[in-house]
Each structure stands twice: as structure tokens, then as C-alpha cells.
Amino acid sequence: MMVVSESPVVVITGAARGIGAHLARGFADAGYRVFGCSRSGGTLGDLQLAAVDVTDERAVHDWIAQVLDEAGRIDVLVNNAGVVDDEVPIEESDPAQWWDAVEVNVRGPYLLTRMVLPGMLAAGSGRIINLNSGAGTRPGEVASAYHVGKSALGRITGSTHASGSGRGVYAFDLAPGVVRTDMTESMPVHRQRTDWTDPAQVVELALALADGRLDAWSGRMVRAGADTPQSLHNRATAGLAEQARTVGLIGWGADDPIA
């Protein structure tokens, strides 16, 4: 018999390590019932992680069905699982690796959103947080698949926001800055870095997005280490332009026929 959880329920992908692990612990400490996954499963403290390949439609479907069977609802989805391709220009990239990175960074969040969003819409409540990046706002001289994937992820966020508008469901792009993780430490571009983003700032911002304090930012990007819940609240209160913190075409002026 299904028993609806009294605690808010959060689903977090890529929860075994790095930012995902920080988020899982942070949400648990904040009183959420946490369901996490990683490609190989495992444990994170007392949390048992499901073994889920986020690019596998059947695996995602079965896991979300299991979560709903155990908890009765999903209040927050955090699409955190992601990978980066080699830091080489596009003409030197490996096609198989390039496409694998796009699949993890785009198909994964899409499948999780596709499985979770209908229930949120039916309940009239829910929030989806996509771990994005400044790389999603510009082309990349290297690691082009990562840039492509994060740009596409922003469109998933925007489309989710459009579906949820007026129906109690909100979607956000959360750029975590540069947190020291296995992934970032393996990237040549960060080898000399000393100014790392404190993971506590990422958790603080994610929790503020999850609990509804920053719903005015739905469909937009926020950035840990630069934004705080208070600064974002103040900015929203002062007013947000329609395209603020979104990615779109910049026309040459008012007479541009496609702007």
C-alpha cells in the first residue's frame, strides 16, 4: 500500500559524488525525503542510491515509478547528472564521446522531466532545478559537446517553465559556478584555479529555489557564488525584464526582421 510521504520529496540525479552528493546531504538536512541515483548506484551515508543510466528511458521510467510507489509524490526534481567531453576543438573531437556527452547532458534531463512533470502538473505543484553552466550561454572553443548540451538544457528549462506557467510548476537553471569536484579537477582549464565556489552556496540556492522563495526566477538562470537568495529576491522585487537571465537571439535593432 502506497503511503504519501509527509516530508517533501526530492529526486536528485548524479547524487553519488561532487555537487550531487552535496545537494543530497543538504536536502536531507533540510527535512526532505531524498531519492538519489547514479549510474552505478551505491550509498551516500544512510542514503541508498539507485543504479540508473539517465539516458535509458526504461530505467528512468522504472525508477520514477518506484519513487512514486514508495513516496506517493515528487515535489522537486534536481537534474544534476552530467559529463564533460575532452577539452579539444570541435574538429579534433571524438564523435562517440561527443554524442555521449550530449545524451547525458540533454537526453537525461529530458527523460527525467518527461517522467516527473505530468504528476507535478496534475498536483498543481512542483519545481525542477537543472544544473546548468555559463557554458550554456556561449559557444566553446573546446569541449563543444558540453556547451551544446548546456545550451539545450536551457531550452528544456524554458519549455518546462512554459508548460508549468499558471499551473503551479516552476523550472530553473542553476549554474553552480566552479565547485571543486573530480570532474572539475580533471579539466585542464581549472588546473591553476584557486577561486572555487563553496558548495554550501550551491545548496543554499537550490533549497531556496525548491521551497518557492524564488519562483519569480522560473525559466531563468541563477548562479551560485554570485547570486544569493536575498539578492535574487531583491532583484525580482525591483522587477525583471522579460528576457533577463535567459538565452536568445540579439537583433541588430528594432528593425531586425527576425529579432
| Averaged confidence pLDDT in the chain | 94
pLDDT recorded at residue 5:
80
> β-strand 47-51 against 42-44: which pairing, if any?
antiparallel
Q: Is the residue at 229 inside a domain?
A: yes
Q: Is the residue at 155 inside a domain?
A: yes
Active site residue 150: yes
Q: Is the residue at 258 inside a domain?
A: no
CATH number of the domain enclosing 61? 3.40.50.720
Least confident of 3-12, 35-44, 54-63, 82-91: 3-12
The mean pLDDT of 186-197, rounded to a whole number, is 66
pLDDT grade for 160, boundaries at 50, 70 and 90:
very high
Q: Is residue 1's pLDDT more than 60?
A: no
Q: Is the residue at 251 inside a domain?
A: no
pLDDT recorded at residue 196:
66
The mean pLDDT of 22-49, rounded to a whole number, is 97
Under 8 Å between Cβ of 205 and 172: no
Residue in 214, 257, 207 with CA at minimum distance from that of residue 234: 214
Strand ranges in 32-86 using DSSP code E only, listed in sequence order = 33-38, 42-44, 47-51, 76-79
Under 8 Å between Cβ of 147 and 132: no
The mean pLDDT of 194-214, rounded to a whole number, is 91
Q: Is residue 182's pLDDT more than 80?
A: no
- How many structural domains does the chain have? 1
Residues in the chain: 259
pLDDT recorded at residue 177:
85
Q: Is the residue at 259 inside a domain?
A: no
The position carrying cell 569541449 is 143
pLDDT recorded at residue 222:
98
The mean pLDDT of 108-115, rounded to a whole number, is 98
Provide the percentage of residues in the chain whose pLDDT is more than 90: 89
Q: Is residue 197's pLDDT more than 90?
A: no
Q: Is the residue at 96 inside a domain?
A: yes
Q: Is the residue at 243 inside a domain?
A: no
pTM: 0.93
Range of the domain at 77: 9-238
Residue in 157, 257, 177 with CA at minimum distance from that of residue 217: 157
Q: Is the residue at 3 inside a domain?
A: no
Q: Is residue 85's pLDDT more than 90?
A: yes
d(CA 145, CA 90): 8
The mean pLDDT of 206-230, rounded to a whole number, is 97
126 strand-pairing partners: 169
Q: DSSP string covering the chain, please? A: -----SS-EEEESS-SSHHHHHHHHHHHHTTPEEEEEESS-EEETTEEEEE--TT-HHHHHHHHHHHHHHHS---EEEE-------SS-GGG--HHHHHHHHIIIIIHHHHHHHHHHHHHHHHT-EEEEEE--GGGGS--SS-HHHHHHHHHHHHHHHHHHHHHTTTTEEEEEEE------HHHHT-GGGTT---PPPHHHHHHHHHHHHTTTTGGGTTSEEEBTTB-HHHHHHHHHH---TTTT------SSTT-TT-
- Helix or strand run (H / E) with residue 10: strand 9-12
Catalytic residue among 32, 110, 150, 170: 150
Catalytic residue among 32, 110, 146, 170: 146
